[in-house]
Amino acid sequence: MQKKLLTLAVAGALAAPALAVAQSTVEVYGTVNMAFGQFRYSESTAGDPSVSKWDVSQGASNYGLRSRENLGGGLAGWIQIEQNAPMERSNNIAITPASRNSAIGLQGGFGNVFIGQWTTPWADLDSLWAVGTVGYWGPVTSIIGRRETTGAAPNPNCQNFQSPAPGLGSAVTAGSVQPQASCDAVESGGGVGHPFWRRVSQAVFYQSPVMAGVQGKLAYQTNEGKATAGTTTADPSLWSFSVQWAGLGGRARVGAAYDRHKDFSTIGQTDKGYRVTGGWNFGVVDVGAAYETMKYYAAGGEVKAKQYGLAVAVPVGPGSIRGSWSKAKDLEGAGQTVTDTGATQYNLGYEHRFSKRTNVGVGYAKITNKTNAVFTWTGAPPNAGGASNTPAAGSDVSTFFVSLTHRF
């Protein structure tokens, strides 16, 4: 009898870990997205010379870890930790743990609730329309959603607030004592948590269940950065909302978003924006479109920005011909247009799908900047001066490239 009990106990002890493993999964994943090609910066408004160069670049290459555990009753707990993978070994791209979508959450019949750092509901709508990009030289990393990149981040005691971008923020009073604190290095550089297209940190997120093809999303960035400098108190926080629908077997999709960013560009003001994106897959061609408008506050008053774009993908055998066109209108402020601050972007190429994981593409992309515009792509090589990848005002940016993407 004792032998039988001992056998059952050992069997139970061995089965328990197997049961736990069966209810929990861990996944290592990532995307390597690179390109080789010739990049060109044209002559600038100020007469800076044009320059052409060969370049190996990487676009949002990343790797991460996911874990998910079934808790019973339709409830699951999960985590994700993701960071950049600077495959070109550039000195100005550091590997920062959890620098991309990273969070912990609970998911069930009520939807998905999580906390951490994630792309905004605004940015998530890009997946509905941006079908026309080969590699990563497209509108989402150049024109669409890319204008609001200034302000005190995350509070007025941060060093970046003392060095605002041209035309935005507040000038430093001559002879004043400058704060030395840089606060969060990413945020004080105008990074995470400010531009509409990016992810937000120190945030709470909710994604509703999909019902009849409809899903709502909400993000709230807390006012963790609330701080006082002299008689000024900044209380920065951010709300992002979206609703999207997909139907007819996924052929039709449309979404809308609204954002409110308090005390970012100017303390005491709230930046606002809304966008509509969508598309339709006709089978022989997949078409997407986006429109967005933003209102934020510079030292001189209210500034309005508008961007829009079109995208197409035409299946050709195991691959597709893809193209996009997008436009940034001149900024508007104080009831008048801010001269020559707009730009136009287009790209065209062919992407061959060897498998669900591996694609190879070839294409051409160009951004035509007006006299006072400096639009470019994330991941572009240094300009003619060699110290920055932001073009000089009025310099056009273009590239012929071959791209290679692998997902694991």
b/e per residue 178-200 (b: at least 16 CB within 10 A): eeeeebbeebbebbbbbbbbbbb
Let me know if 128 is exposed, middle or buried by CB neighbors in 10 A (0-12, 13-18, 19+).
buried
Strands (DSSP E) contained in 317-389 are 319-328, 332-333, 336-337, 343-353, 358-369
Q: Is residue 2 part of a domain?
A: no
Phi, psi torsion values for 332, nearest 5 degrees: -120, 135
Q: Is residue 4 part of a domain?
A: no
For residues 131 and 279, is the Cβ–Cβ distance under 8 A?
yes
User: 18: which DSSP letter?
Assistant: H
Q: What is the pLDDT of residues 5-18, one digit of tens each?
A: 444 444 444 444 44
CA angle 279, 281, 286 (to 5 degrees): 80
Kind plus residue range of the DSSP H or E element containing 256: strand 252-262
Tokens of 335: 């009831």
Strands (DSSP E) contained in 126-221 are 199-207, 214-221
Q: What is the pLDDT of residues 269-285, one digit of tens each?
A: 888 999 999 999 999 99
The chain-wide mean pLDDT, for the chain, equals: 82
Highest average pLDDT, of 113-122, 227-236, 327-336, comes from 113-122
Q: Is residue 320 part of a domain?
A: yes
**How far apart are the C-alpha atoms of 229 and 238, rounded to whole Å?**
21
Kind plus residue range of the DSSP H or E element containing 66: strand 62-72
Tokens of 159: 């060093």
For residues 153 and 193, is the Cβ–Cβ distance under 8 A?
yes
For residues 289 and 282, is the Cβ–Cβ distance under 8 A?
no
Q: How many domains does the chain have?
A: 1
pTM: 0.83
Kind plus residue range of the DSSP H or E element containing 296: strand 286-298
The pLDDT of residue 22 is above 50: no
Q: What is the mean pLDDT of residues 358-382?
A: 92
Q: pLDDT class for 395, splitting at 50, 70, 90?
A: very high
Taking every pair of Cα atoms in the chain, the longest distance, rounded to a whole number of angstroms, is 95
User: 395: which DSSP letter?
Assistant: -
Q: Is residue 12 part of a domain?
A: no
What letter represents residue 386's amino acid?
A: G
Q: Is residue 397 part of a domain?
A: yes
What integer pLDDT is reported at residue 8 of this predicted model? 42
Q: Is residue 37 part of a domain?
A: no
User: 264: which DSSP letter?
Assistant: S
Place of tokens 């079109």: 310
**How far apart are the C-alpha atoms of 45 and 142, rounded to whole Å?**
20
**Higher pLDDT pick, 229 / 259:** 259
**How far apart are the C-alpha atoms of 314 and 324, rounded to whole Å?**
12
Q: 391 lies in which domain range?
A: 44-407
Tokens of 151: 């302000």
**Higher pLDDT pick, 33 / 89:** 33
Let me know if 18 is exposed, middle or buried by CB neighbors in 10 A (0-12, 13-18, 19+).
exposed
Let me know if 11 is exposed, middle or buried by CB neighbors in 10 A (0-12, 13-18, 19+).
exposed
Place of tokens 């992309």: 365
Q: What is the mean pLDDT of residues 358-369?
A: 97
Q: Is residue 322 part of a domain?
A: yes
Radius of gyration of the chain (CA): 24
Q: Is residue 119 part of a domain?
A: yes
Q: What is the pLDDT of residues 36-68, one digit of tens each?
A: 999 999 999 998 899 999 999 988 889 999 999
**Percent helix, strand, coil in the chain (nearest 5)?**
10, 50, 45
**How far apart are the C-alpha atoms of 328 and 319, rounded to whole Å?**
30
CATH, residue 296 = 2.40.160.10
